[in-house]
């Protein structure tokens, strides 16, 4: 008989050596209490009211003011004034900077409390920005808050927290598979008290916005160092000589101006040595710090997007008839609606549990939870939006509903912040590792015959006999 260890081979042995708790997703009893705190409840109600009364009625106007603007990479007349007036009201009412978990700046909400609010923000395309909770600024602010020097905070974090400027996060490169960030090759070389930066980056979201003043750039600073110590993150102000904007990447044919996902070239760009964040070689550590919350915020907003899509699907299905029936009742549509509702609730609970895991276990320990929701939520939300488009007929892909924009956002989220496969890999590997000792010696054939021998003389007819 072959032993379990032999059968398991190299990877199984690795799992056994690591040992652990029989599931990829660590949990504690506390993690299953998903109630919003008493403190957050009134804030949550106030956010919902603010979106309904101040943001929803002006969203269409915001986009209309931008149409036919003179400067394609700027804002239309009155557009920023409208946005700023909503932002000022939100700030005045204390509905501002919710995203910084347990921090002194902002509301200091837990990840769990923020998750409830972010779901609401995900239902409207400008709500996040109106409350100063939009990506990529949230991730960048969190990094600056956690690891910035007092000078870096004063220069960049403060105006970001006040919502006066915007920022971009610059990691992905056209010439290397960037889901493996060890391969990034854009180079920063120290020259006295400066960095000299050379290389190319693309998909720098938000770098097209005229209000974007600062980039956080992931760069190779020590090509010969240990693989996870080769990269650093360095602050590069927009407008630094040598920083060239080559153009915008298009998302399904749209350049998404003025936000933009920019293609950048660094031609011997010089910035002070002190612009490095947290110290040389800390690039990967900062990424972990940034991407955990960033990913979970995306997923929270995605649940809101799925909720919005289902709402529109049902409304349209009930108010339009074909073949003598409301479309909602035609064919398999009731099943489509049922599945969407069931899966939205499953996603909501997964996201809340992942948020609670971050609160209870810390960002590092909750890493697999975050991967699990990043692997689950955008792909399913994308399908729900697609179904809502289908029920709307041609109107679904038009400018009359937010569905086309929601679809593009969710589809691209399956790539941004790590493609689905990377997150499946993280969860799958953790699940295999967690089996540990329990897999050793697993042999169903031997177990079956041992069971028969143990019960010799008994009537075995029917046991595993099949049809």
CB of 273 or CB of 424, closer to ligand FAD: 424
Q: Name 229's Cβ contacts closer than 8 Å, sequence gap at least 6.
A: 222, 281, 284
DSSP collapsed to 3 states, 106-128: CCCCCHHHHHHHHHHHCCCCCHH
CB of 170 or CB of 389, closer to ligand FAD: 170
For residue 167, report the phi and psi dihedrals to the nearest 5 degrees.
-145, 170
Question: Which listed residue (52, 177, 447, 463) binds ligand FAD by CB under 6 A?
Answer: 177
Is 205 a binder of ligand FAD (CB under 6 A)? yes
CB of 256 or CB of 387, closer to ligand FAD: 256
**Which of 59, 28, 51, 107 lies closest to 301 in space, CA to CA?**
51
Is 169 a binder of ligand FAD (CB under 6 A)? yes
Minimum gap (Å) between residue 305 Cβ and ligand FAD: 14
* CA dihedral sign, ordered 119, 124, 125, 131: negative
Minimum gap (Å) between residue 168 Cβ and ligand FAD: 6
Piece of 156-164, 197-205, 221-229, 275-283 that binds ligand FAD (CB under 6 A):
197-205
Piece of 35-43, 158-166, 411-419, 445-453 that binds ligand FAD (CB under 6 A):
411-419
Residues 85-144 that bind ligand FAD (CB under 6 A): 136
Piece of 73-81, 124-132, 390-398, 408-416 that binds ligand FAD (CB under 6 A):
408-416
Minimum gap (Å) between residue 410 Cβ and ligand FAD: 11
Question: Which listed residue (170, 215, 382, 384) binds ligand FAD by CB under 6 A?
Answer: 170
CB of 258 or CB of 317, closer to ligand FAD: 258
Cβ distance 167 to 212 under 8 Å? yes
Q: Name 155's Cβ contacts closer than 8 Å, sequence gap at least 6.
A: none
Q: d(Cα 9, Cα 283) in Å, to the nearest integer?
A: 34
Minimum gap (Å) between residue 460 Cβ and ligand FAD: 45
CB of 98 or CB of 169, closer to ligand FAD: 169
Give yes or no for a cis peptide into 136 (omega within 30° of 0): yes
Integer CA distances (angstroms), 435 to 15, 23, 364, 372, 379, in order: 7, 7, 20, 17, 27
Q: Name 150's Cβ contacts closer than 8 Å, sequence gap at least 6.
A: none
In the block, tokens 């289908």 appear at: 390
Q: Strand 231-237 vs strand 321-322: parallel, antiparallel, or unpaired? A: unpaired
Cβ distance 428 to 371 under 8 Å? no
Minimum gap (Å) between residue 429 Cβ and ligand FAD: 10
Minimum gap (Å) between residue 462 Cβ and ligand FAD: 44
Q: d(Cα 251, Cα 233) in Å, to the nearest integer?
A: 26
Residues 252-281 as x/- pattern, contact with ligand FAD by CB under 6 A: ---------x--------------------
Minimum gap (Å) between residue 82 Cβ and ligand FAD: 25
Binding residues vs ligand FAD (CB under 6 A): 136, 169-172, 177-179, 203-205, 251, 261, 412, 415-419, 421-422, 425
């Amino acid at each position: 008989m072959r032993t379990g260890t032999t059968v398991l081979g190299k990877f199984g042995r690795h799992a056994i050596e690591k040992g652990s708790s029989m599931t990829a997703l660590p949990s504690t009893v506390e993690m299953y209490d998903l109630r919003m705190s008493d403190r957050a409840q009134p804030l949550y109600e106030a956010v919902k009211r603010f979106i309904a009364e101040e943001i929803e009625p002006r969203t269409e106007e915001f986009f209309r003011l931008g149409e036919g603007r003179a400067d394609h990479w700027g804002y239309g007349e009155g557009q920023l004034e409208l946005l700023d007036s909503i932002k000022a009201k939100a700030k005045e009412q204390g509905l501002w900077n919710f995203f910084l978990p347990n921090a002194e700046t902002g509301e200091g909400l837990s990840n769990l409390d923020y998750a409830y609010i972010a779901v609401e923000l995900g239902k409207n395309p400008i709500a996040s920005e109106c409350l100063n909770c939009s990506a990529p600024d949230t991730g960048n602010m969190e990094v600056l808050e956690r690891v910035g020097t007092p000078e870096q905070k004063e220069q960049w974090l403060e105006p970001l927290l006040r919502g006066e400027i915007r920022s971009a996060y610059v990691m992905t490169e056209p010439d290397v598979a960037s889901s493996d960030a060890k391969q990034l090759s854009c180079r920063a070389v120290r020259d006295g008290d400066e960095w000299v930066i050379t290389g190319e980056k693309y998909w720098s979201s938000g770098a097209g916005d005229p209000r974007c003043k600062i980039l956080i750039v992931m760069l190779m600073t020590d090509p010969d160092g240990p693989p996870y110590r080769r990269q650093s993150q360095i602050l590069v102000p927009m407008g630094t000589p040598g920083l060239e904007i080559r153009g915008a990447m298009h998302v399904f044919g749209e350049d998404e101006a003025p936000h933009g996902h920019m293609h950048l070239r660094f031609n011997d760009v010089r910035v002070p040595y002190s612009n490095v964040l947290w110290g040389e070689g800390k690039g990967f550590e900062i990424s972990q710090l940034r991407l955990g919350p960033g990913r979970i915020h995306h997923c929270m907003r995605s649940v809101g997007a799925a909720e919005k899509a289902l709402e529109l699907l049902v409304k349209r299905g009930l108010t339009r008839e074909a073949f003598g029936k409301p479309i909602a009742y035609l064919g398999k549509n009731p099943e489509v609606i049922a599945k969407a509702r069931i899966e939205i609730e499953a996603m909501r609970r997964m996201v809340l549990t992942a948020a609670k895991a971050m609160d209870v276990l810390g960002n590092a320990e909750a890493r697999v939870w975050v991967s699990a929701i990043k692997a689950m939520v955008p792909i399913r939300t994308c399908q729900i939006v697609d179904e809502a488009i289908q029920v709307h007929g041609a109107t679904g892909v038009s400018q009359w509903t937010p569905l086309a924009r929601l679809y593009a956002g969710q589809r691209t989220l399956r790539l941004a912040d790590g493609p689905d496969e990377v997150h499946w890999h993280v969860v799958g590997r953790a699940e295999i590792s967690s089996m540990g000792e329990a897999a050793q010696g697993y042999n169903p054939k031997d177990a079956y015959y041992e069971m028969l021998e143990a019960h010799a003389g008994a009537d075995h007819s029917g046991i595993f006999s099949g049809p």
